[in-house]
Chain A
Amino acid sequence: MAYASALQALGDPTRRAVLEELRQGPRAVGEIAARLPVSRPAVSQHLRVLKEAGLVTERQNGARHLYRVDPDGLAELRAYLEGFWEEALASFKAAAEKEERRKK
């Protein structure tokens, strides 16, 4: 599923906490690690997953790597899910109506 990586990334409570930190504004790895009960390498790992899922972007600012939330990633996930259910339900409707006609 196209949205599976984003859902998977958000299934982890620590990753959600990392994302929540980034909601306050762009942060470096060390800043996030200082505010959560998680080591720097673990934060880096979570950020990598979030980035691959399209939920976070990374930008070099001088010597620092800053991470920020990518709102497009989340909007895309939601839009995908909306369209996904619409398509699935339209297909369900057709199947249920066909079955009903068959019974009669």
Chain B
Amino acid sequence: MTMTATETIHKQIFVEAAPETAFRVFTENIAAWWPLDKHGIYLDDAQTVTFEDRDGWRLVEKAKDGRENVWGEVLEYEVSSRLRMTWHPGREADDEPTELEVSFTADGDGTIVVLEHRGWENLRDELRQGREGYDKGWPGVLERYRQAAAA
């Protein structure tokens, strides 16, 4: 019953900004908000992370010394609406990547942003077990999220 749901990480937030703004900040200004000091390949040596058009859009992390790591390739996108890409930070693109999809939907004066990180189905049962274990922690996580959103 919950098998399918357990295979995808699903996050949703409401942003007080128009879909155009939300999409632009997510893509063009990713360096402005991505916590690169904590989440990246180069961490303290990181310089920036940016979408670049290199035979198709790629998300590239760059280190101060010039090293680069391609986190993923954009598979399809619709401006102000959605973005679907491969996701493989720290790995080669020809490894079987996971997939990230982000959608931006107008809601009143703001935008509902839904993020899905999937492609875990190959891991089958171990992963489901891991996920189910984590599901037990969901109420706490959601409560923290609610508090953060209300702040």
Contacts and interface: CB of A to CB of B under 8 A. Distances in A.
Interface of A: 1, 4, 7-8, 10-13, 16, 19-20, 23, 69, 71, 74-79, 81-82, 84-97, 99-100, 103
B126 A69 contact: yes
B21 A96 contact: yes
Interface of B: 9, 11, 13, 15-18, 21-22, 24-26, 29, 32-35, 38-41, 88-92, 95-98, 111, 113, 115, 117, 122-127, 129-131, 133-134, 137, 141, 145, 148
Interface centre among A79, A91, A100 (most CB of B within 10 A): A100
A71 B90 contact: no
Contact of B13 (A8, A71, A82, A89): A89
Given A77-B130, A97-B15, A88 B25 contact: no
12 contacts: A1-B89, A4-B90, A8-B90, A74-B123, A74-B126, A77-B130, A88-B33, A89-B11, A89-B113, A91-B34, A96-B25, A99-B24
Given A12-B95, A84-B39, A100 B21 contact: yes
Given A89-B11, A90-B148, A82 B16 contact: no
Contact of A91 (B33, B122, B127, B141): B33
Contacts of A23: 124-126
Nearest to A55: B126
B115 A89 contact: yes
Contacts of B129: 71, 74-75
A71 B21 contact: no
A interface, over-half SS: helix
A100 B106 CA distance: 14
A19 B148 CA distance: 38
B117 A85 contact: yes
A87 B141 CA distance: 12
A75 B88 CA distance: 19
A81 B25 contact: no
B147 to A, nearest CB: 11
Which of B24, B38, B123 is most buried by chain A, counting CB atoms within 10 A of its CB? B123
A49 to B, nearest CB: 13
A54 B130 CA distance: 13
A93 B17 CA distance: 9
Contact of A11 (B29, B34, B88): B88
